[in-house]
Amino acid sequence: MTLPAPFPSSRPRRLRRDAFTRALVRERTLTQSDLIYPVFVQEGTKKRDAVASMPGVERLSLDQLLPVAEQCVALGIPVMALFPVIDAGLKTPAGDEAFNPEGLIPRVVAQLKSHFPELGVMTDVALDPYTSHGQDGLLDDTGYILNDPTVEVLVKQALVQAQAGVDIVAPSDMMDGRIGAIRGALETAGHVHTRIMAYSAKYASAFYGPFRDAVGSAANLGKSNKKVYQMDPGNSDEALREVGIDIAEGADMVMVKPGMPYLDIVRRVKDEFRVPTFAYQVSGEYAMLKAAAQNGWLDHDAVMLESLLAFKRAGADGVLTYFALDAARLLIRP
């Protein structure tokens, strides 16, 4: 860095004097096109079930989801990410419902693309919403999560989603080799335009609790954890290795999850690889800000926008956030 002239020749506050100057020299900006809106979808009609640990977030049936998709289009939010709430009776140890072509997610994808072809649709490729044990993979007799057999199921799941018309598949399972296997299967099946956003640096975080409540996997998981496949929160270099592997295997975009507690990882990934890089402002982050704002301890809109801008400053090209609708409404105000 070139050092500036000493005071008083250099007065950095000159560039902060008024709003137009601050806008002129601002290094990063946040727009609605930076946002991806995660939503929870369930079977049925006229169903809106609040998620108690995520104020303002609901599990929606398809008929209730379509107006939300329309709002995304109107607000300029480019992508909606789908997360299924699967009936308990359909959950099995092997997660077979994950690759049912008539299942919930393929039907929702088809309807969304039919009604709103201009809206990008992203789907989660993982087994935890579908397994009776709440893990993201298949178990052996000792309860250890098997890698290669799980990848075989994930490939089936991704192919079903691609056939339904999804734009982006997002493997969030953290199994080794799954990006290469999914990319190869998509190419072989002719789905050459289906993009892959890999959850490349997904940590075994305590910030996921409200999400697991929302999709109904918390009770199934019980006191188990996901530390044998999700990353150790103390590791940073390992994240770069994981991202590099996924890019080499065919990922178009990569993601760091969680978001704000791992902004250093976002920065390192962007500096190292210069590929489209995303961060997930996860359920726990959202719940904390919501709870503090509801108690009057924080200014809701101010901390929401500041937190999202932090992702852009760290190097993220976009953010998955449950604040997407609220943030977009503020960002488009004249």
Pairing of strands 318-321, 138-139: unpaired
Place of tokens 């101010």: 302
CA–CA–CA angle 145, 165, 121 (5° rounding): 75
Cα 77 to the chain's mean position, in Å?
A: 14
Contact 217, 188 (CB under 8 A): no
| Distance set, CA 197 to CA 6, 115, 161 (Å) | 46, 23, 14
Catalytic residues: 202, 257
Question: If the chain, 334 residues long, is cut into consecutive pieces of 10 residues, what is the mean pLDDT of each piece?
Answer: 86 94 95 98 96 95 98 98 96 96 98 98 96 94 95 98 98 97 98 98 93 72 84 98 98 97 98 98 96 97 98 98 98 82
Nearest CA among 124, 73, 128, 125 for reference residue 95: 128
Return the pLDDT at 218.
Answer: 60
Q: What pLDDT, on a 0 to 100 scale, did the predictor assign at position 304?
A: 98
- pLDDT for 333 equals 79
DSSP state letters, 195-256: EEEEEEEEB--GGGHHHHHHHT-HHHHTT---TTTSBPTT-SHHHHHHHHHHHHHT-SEEEE
Q: How high is the pLDDT of residue 225? A: 87
Strands 138-139 and 145-146, sheet pairing? antiparallel
Identify the residue whose tokens are 């799980």: 150
CB atoms within 10 A of CB 97: 22
Query: Taking the CB of residue 292, how many other CB atoms lie within 10 A of it?
Result: 14
Residue written as tokens 């690889």?
273
Q: What are phi and psi of 66, to 5 degrees?
A: -60, -45
Report the first-to-last Cα separation within the chain, whole angstroms.
37
Question: Where do runs of H (alpha helix) occur along the chain?
Answer: 19-25, 62-75, 104-115, 148-164, 178-188, 209-215, 218-221, 237-249, 263-273, 283-294, 300-314, 324-331
- The pLDDT value recorded for residue 3 is 82
Predicted TM-score (pTM) of the model is: 0.94
pLDDT of residue 42: 97
